Amino acid sequence: MFVAATTQCYPDLPLDETIEKLAHLEFSHVEMGIIESGNHLKPSDVINDFEAALHICTNTHRLVVTGFDLDIEQTGEQYIQTFTKCCELAKAAKVVSLTVRASEHGTPFNEEVERYKSLVKIAEAHGVRVAMRTQIDRLSADVDTVSVICGHVKGVGLALDPSHYHFGNAEPPNYEKLFSYVHNVYLRDSTPEKLQVRVGQGIIDYGRIINLLRKENFKRTLCIDIQPDGDVDHDGELRKLRLLLESLVLI
């Protein structure tokens, strides 16, 4: 296991400044957010200027890019075309992990299964792995739905974000059965009342999560995803969680 941070930790900074910040905080690995509504690299950039997008992904101040976090706003065939191009980018940049958003609540289950089957087929043709991110207000917010989709679609994994199972739930669902599907993990501290609180003030049990991952022989990314929060020392929170996770990984 190794610790990374997502570029989305600094959503308002230019991407080059974000990379420089993370390097200064002594991160050695970074996940690249490719998000249409964001201020960094966008899926439309990949379509419009592939070579420029590749240059961005391979010039990261010696930080190793662990994966892409995709949020494509298009639908239907346009979504598939953009996803395919992002898989080409991943292959060219030697990135093997793509995180994609699950569909919103109300999407028919069979439709979601077929969508992930299509994505996995495209990704595997480029030597890339697809992971569905757990997220509030999407199909992946339900543990049983995630379990069935991952069980039905061979090759799809889970980008586990435990905060999205704890926030809003006085008694969070038991998500231990999902650990066998986990490809990567997103971490911050949370409470049932707040998705993000200062590190150490929430209920996320990092040690337990890491021990459950060890049982599955997990050897991939623990990705810190902490957003700026008012007067809180953002850099300090990122550094604090990095050091904590690195100490737990070494135990």
pLDDT, residue 250, reads 85
Distant-in-sequence, close-in-space partners of 75: CB < 8 Å, separation ≥ 6 = none
Phi, psi angles (nearest 5°) of residue 197: -130, 175
* 251, pLDDT greater than 80: no
Confidence of residue 86 (pLDDT cuts 50, 70, 90): very high
The HSE-up count of residue 37 (CA atoms within 13 Å, CB side) is 4
Closest by alpha carbon to 40, among 64, 8, 70?
A: 8
* Per-residue model confidence (pLDDT) at position 112: 95
Mean pLDDT, range 134-144, rounded to an integer: 94
In the prediction, which pLDDT does 90 show?
97
SS3 at position 27: coil
Domains, the chain, ranges and CATH? 2-250 (3.20.20.150)
Query: Which residue(s) pair with 224 in the sheet?
Result: 5, 187
And the tokens for 182? 């986990």
Please give the average per-residue pLDDT across 112-140, as a whole number: 96
* Residue 237 dihedral angles phi and psi, to the nearest 5°: -65, -40
How big is the chain, counted in residues?
251
66 band by pLDDT with thresholds 50, 70 and 90: very high
Query: And the tokens for 127?
Result: 């030597």
User: Would you place residue 125 in the very low, low, confident or very high pLDDT band (cuts 50, 70, 90)?
Assistant: very high
User: Using one digit for the tens of pLDDT, what is the confidence trace for 180-222?
Assistant: 999 999 999 999 999 999 999 999 999 999 999 999 999 999 9
Handedness of CA 63, 213, 9, 87 (dihedral sign): positive
Q: pTM for this structure?
A: 0.95
pLDDT score, position 170: 86
Asked if the model's pLDDT at residue 62 lies above 90, the reply is no
53 pLDDT higher than 80: yes
Measured distance CA(114)–CA(97) in Å, rounded: 20
The answer, yes or no, to whether residue 61 has pLDDT greater than 90, is no
Q: Which residue has tokens 């043709």?
A: 125
pLDDT, mean over the chain: 95
